[in-house]
Chain A
Amino acid sequence: MKEIMAVVRMKKTGATKKALVAAGVAGFTAVKVLGRGNLVTDPQAIEECKEKLLSMGMDEFSEAGDTDKTVTSFLDGSRFFPRRLFTILVHDDDVPRIIEAVAKANRTEYGIGDGTIFVLPISDAVRMRTGEAGESAIW
């Protein structure tokens, strides 16, 4: 029995749900969370991202200094971004399949910020309706 915790982009909630159904998992719990990842050490990746954001953020009302400040604060790694935390309880054999499904659904062109998947051991589970415990309580 394992617990899979996946932190994914808000926009990928629907895709993740679909991928889970396709992988044969119906049950999950999802929470809105705030998260940040490891510091990005590659200066080129930051520069590219900054250019893209600056070109998106500028219009006739915004001042160059303000936009630059906002974009810099976006990229220095200290800011938290909204993410969705999926918690899925699965049988041991299903773990690789489900990880693959979730990872595939969440991979984007941006790379950085796609999220992480953690697998934790679970000692027991109980289905409230019937009281059955152990593996049969999962699905």
Chain B
Amino acid sequence: MVLLIRAIVRPEKKDDVLAELSSAGFNAATMVDVVGRGKQKGIRIGGMVYDEIPKTLILMVIPDEARDKVIRTILAVGKTGKEGTFGDGKIFVSLVDEVYTISKGTAGL
């Protein structure tokens, strides 16, 4: 079984997260700059509401066995401070039916 990990992390943390994942053996990744808000409805400073907070979306497709390792790595590195802070992001995991590598023309990661 193959899984797609979508991790929304702080842009300033993305390099650390990706470097750590790479050294753990998961080099392949795709990232997109996104904006979004979470449960806290954005940030309120005075009368201003910031609800389009910049984040980085990291997409990774990994085998099922690697799930725990990847998620634990992202959680450990992506967190701000010891306890974590609002805005550190989220991880979503979904199923992938099929994977193809274009250059090889074969199925599989």
CB-contacts of B1-36 with A (<8 A):
4, 19, 22, 27-32
Interface size class of B (residues with CB under 8 A): 20 to 34
Whole-angstrom CA separation of A82 from B79 in the bound complex: 27
Closest approach, in angstroms, between the C-beta of B43 and any C-beta of chain A?
25
**Size of A's binding interface in residues, CB under 8 A:** 36
Interface of B is mostly: strand
Q: Is the CB of B99 within 8 A of A116?
A: yes
Closest A-chain residue to B19, C-beta based? A78
Which residues from A are CB-within-8-Å of B96?
118-120
Which residues from A are CB-within-8-Å of B100?
99, 103, 116-117
Which residues from A are CB-within-8-Å of B22?
77-78
A28 interface residue (CB < 8 Å to B)? no
Scoring A residues 118 to 135 as 1 if CB is less than 8 Å from chain B, else 0, what string do you get? 111100000000000000
A57 interface residue (CB < 8 Å to B)? no
Whole-angstrom CA separation of A116 from B98 in the bound complex: 11
Q: Is the CB of A107 within 8 A of B97?
A: no
Binds B, one of A34-42, A48-56, A58-66: A34-42
Return 13 A-B CB contacts under 8 Å, by A number: A2-B97, A7-B30, A36-B29, A37-B27, A77-B22, A99-B98, A102-B102, A107-B102, A117-B98, A118-B61, A118-B96, A119-B98, A120-B4
